[in-house]
Structure 1
Amino acid sequence: MIEACRDRDFGRVFRLVKARAGIYPSMIARRCELTPSRVGEVIDGRRQLLHMDVIERISDGLRIPGHMLGLARRTWETPQNLTVTPREPTEAAPPADMQLAASLPGTDVDSILALAAERDLSPSTLNALHSSIADYWRRDDEHGGESLRPAVLGQLRYVVGLLKEERSSPMRDGLHGIAAELARLTGWTYFDARQYHQARAYFTEALGLAKAVDDHQFMANVLACMSLQATYQDKPGDALALVTAAQDQARAAMGTTPRVLAMLAMREAFAHATLGNHSATHSAISEAHTHLGRISTDDPDPAWVAYFDETKLVVDTGIAHGRLGEAVLAEPLIADALRREHRTNHRGRALHAFWLARTQLQRGKLDEACHTAMDALVPAAAVSSQRVARHLREFHEQLEPFRREPAAVAFESRLREVLPRQVSGSPRP
């Protein structure tokens, strides 16, 4: 990065921030006040950026220190010296662990926060951390995880830092659980961005944190996430092995609830469907529905599985049938779930609408498929998710044989209006 900035090779800079920081070209464009097409041309080597005002916008938008690009110190950079002058002379210096360094580097925020952190944690502290995680998941559904990742990572580092100190067993177990959930959420944001290597690293960290306190149910949850990722990577054998391991962990846990077992059975159905195994898929679907039917209000469900309700079971059942090519079974299920799905869950609505459009297209319902896909464009534009973008591209490609039909032309026009970047990145002419 230092070399690329020194040479003002912004194509390389943009590629590096995408690969290393997960900042995709669309976000680069927004942060630097550039058009997406211009960013794409720079990355492809078809355009150079030479104007000073543009270079300053890149410095500010990507938080590249001014000196790395031959600019003056930017207004957002931490001053080189921040001297603390006592109001009155003191006879003795304070203890070493209470002294702040004369220079406070902007990248060392975690250590500064640690100095100010409350040392005697209370149950209310744990409740506050759990509440913030619930809020992160809600915002992830509404907007995608890309913009949340820095905050989640910062909180993960903070909680892991707290674990380095001596704690009572209940407090230590609580912190391990929170750290495990934050690591899983970080892995999820990378998975949703289709950065699978980074996702796997954080999922593995979440497994280790849960294993430290023998939380077998949460280990099962993380393994189920990894299984879902394997289906997206077209590794159905890995997906089945991971969900089988998840079910083993669930069986090892005391009091695994029917809701958790239903979620795991549906992950198994996805793995079998990706393998094309019809009978095993139908069996796993049946098992998931049986488990969900056993749920009672007294079940001590973990908070992380609350999302798996009847609507989620129905849409996942439809998707499993869709993966098998059973469009006749899939279409009414996905359509029914989509009608019941919460309006603020933009990513879920977009994903499920594109699945519905694909099943309708498989059934020869071109007009309905294009109408459904057009409805999906608004929630797709509201969320930053490479998984959603992938489903959109797949539907777009499946429309290729019908591209001259009026319904397909109308969809293409709406797509260019709402998500022009997706069209420019499409293989279609």
Structure 2
Amino acid sequence: MKRRDALAAGGALVVGTALTEALERWLVPARRPAASGYSLLGESDLERIEAGVAALRHWDDRWRLGISRKAVVAQLSEVAELAAEAQPAAVQPRLFLVLAELSRIVASMAYDEGDHPSAQKYYTLSLRAAHQAGPGYELYGVGILADMARQMLDLHRPQDALEISRLALDGARSRKAPAPMMSMLYTREGWAYARLGRVQAFRRTVAQAEELLDGGDSEPLPEWARVIDHAELAGVVGARYRDLAQGQDDPVAKRKSAQESVDYITRALRLRPPAQRRNQAFDLIGLGRTYLLLGEPAEAANTVCNAISLVGGLGSGRVQRRLRDWHREAAPFHREPAVAELRDELSRTLLTKSRK
């Protein structure tokens, strides 16, 4: 991975046209490097590396598995050295995919910690590696674009997120992406529309995402495919209805959007597998924020208390940032005893560890 291929090599976040124009080139098919005449990395060695990455693939759902970012970066460095050498034709594409996955895991860790310049750099390295993997792995790069769009949304740059989402959708359509992946990409586009206050565009993309997911076939997908299920779709859409409600001045429209948010998030909580505790925590915190919009502070505090019982001692920066959002938004209800008690508890415990 050459330094010039990283968008954020200098440590600064890249945004706007400079970001989207740089990403466009990754949609052009890569030329596969020539294979060497001898084996530098054997099949069994590659399988052991792939098994290690498979164990890390769902670190986000398993409370980070107690793994530090440094450890994954060290593994990434070792694999990058192997990928820099020409490998047999049967090995090289899979090795680049391993490099892409490790880069994405490091990016996700940095994103969770709120280190956005590093996250962007490693997402870009992941995109580059997926590009080098060649035919058969292009959709992995589309999934990385979806991650980068989400990052722009977290940074309150919905127009950048919209442009990246459209790039991802273009790439997915040209490569005939499966319905669950297209559905996931439409949720990213809809998320951007919600942040921009474009209500009808948001509703249109939500309908497209739901239709694709309901009508998707059962064709088996690669383990690395970035898709969405009904629980995640409901959770994302519910949170976006809350975004809409926060930006609406008309009390009737505001209440309608907030109620739709409650309905979707409640559905997500019902559908979430028990093992997805962190996603449940996100849902509950989001639901608590929506109850504030509906003028139900006691219910909001109770819901967020349930989320805290799930997160325990988790060091997830994203969870803590969402709790900080609730803490700030609950300030107008500080005279409500349940709200006052919870805000005080958050100030003394979880939030003191997450000031960034």
TM range (shorter): 0.7 to 0.9
1:245 aligned to 2:171? no
1:281 aligned to 2:202? yes
How far did 1:340 drift? Answer: 2.9
Aligned to 2:279: 348
Aligned to 1:223: 145
Q: Whole-Å Cα distance in 2 between the matches of residues 392 and 259 of structure 1? A: 30
The 5 Å alignment of 1:11-410 reads: 119-122=40-43, 124-144=44-64, 147-214=67-134, 215-253=137-175, 255-297=176-218, 299-305=219-225, 308-325=228-245, 326-410=257-341
Q: Whole-Å Cα distance in 2 between the matches of residues 382 and 186 of structure 1? A: 21
Aligned to 1:83: none
How far did 1:126 drift? Answer: 3.8
Where do 5+ consecutive residues of structure 1 fail to align? Answer: 1-19, 21-117
Q: Whole-Å Cα distance in 2 between the matches of residues 378 and 131 of structure 1? A: 33
TM-superposition CA deviations, 1:163-191 (whole Å, max 9, x none)? 13332212100111111111111111111
Q: Contact 1:374–1:415 (CA<8 Å) still a contact in 2?
A: no
Aligned to 1:80: none
How far did 1:355 drift? Answer: 0.5
Higher RCO (Cα < 8 Å, 6 or more apart)? 2
Q: Contact 1:350–1:380 (CA<8 Å) still a contact in 2?
A: yes
Where do 5+ consecutive residues of structure 2 fail to align? Answer: 1-10, 12-38, 246-256
In the alignment, residue 366 of structure 1 is paired with which amino acid? Answer: P
CA gap 1:305/1:318 in 2 versus in 1, 3 angstroms: farther
In the alignment, residue 219 of structure 1 is paired with which amino acid? Answer: G
* Superposition RMSD in Å: 2.3
In the alignment, residue 314 of structure 2 is paired with which amino acid? Answer: V
If the length of structure 1 is used for normalisation, what is the TM-score?
0.66
Match of 2:312, SS state, is helix
Q: Whole-Å Cα distance in 1 between the matches of residues 242 and 331 of structure 2? A: 20
The higher radius of gyration belongs to 1
CA gap 1:134/1:338 in 2 versus in 1, 3 angstroms: farther
Identity of aligned residues (%): 28
In the alignment, residue 372 of structure 1 is paired with which amino acid? Answer: T
CA gap 1:131/1:345 in 2 versus in 1, 3 angstroms: farther
Q: Contact 1:341–1:349 (CA<8 Å) still a contact in 2?
A: yes
Q: Whole-Å Cα distance in 2 between the matches of residues 245 and 306 of structure 1? A: 16
User: Which moved further from structure 2: 268-277 or 399-408?
Assistant: 399-408
Matched length: 305
Q: Contact 1:338–1:349 (CA<8 Å) still a contact in 2?
A: yes
If the length of structure 2 is used for normalisation, what is the TM-score?
0.79
Q: Whole-Å Cα distance in 2 between the matches of residues 207 and 316 of structure 1? A: 24
CA gap 1:219/1:374 in 2 versus in 1, 3 angstroms: same
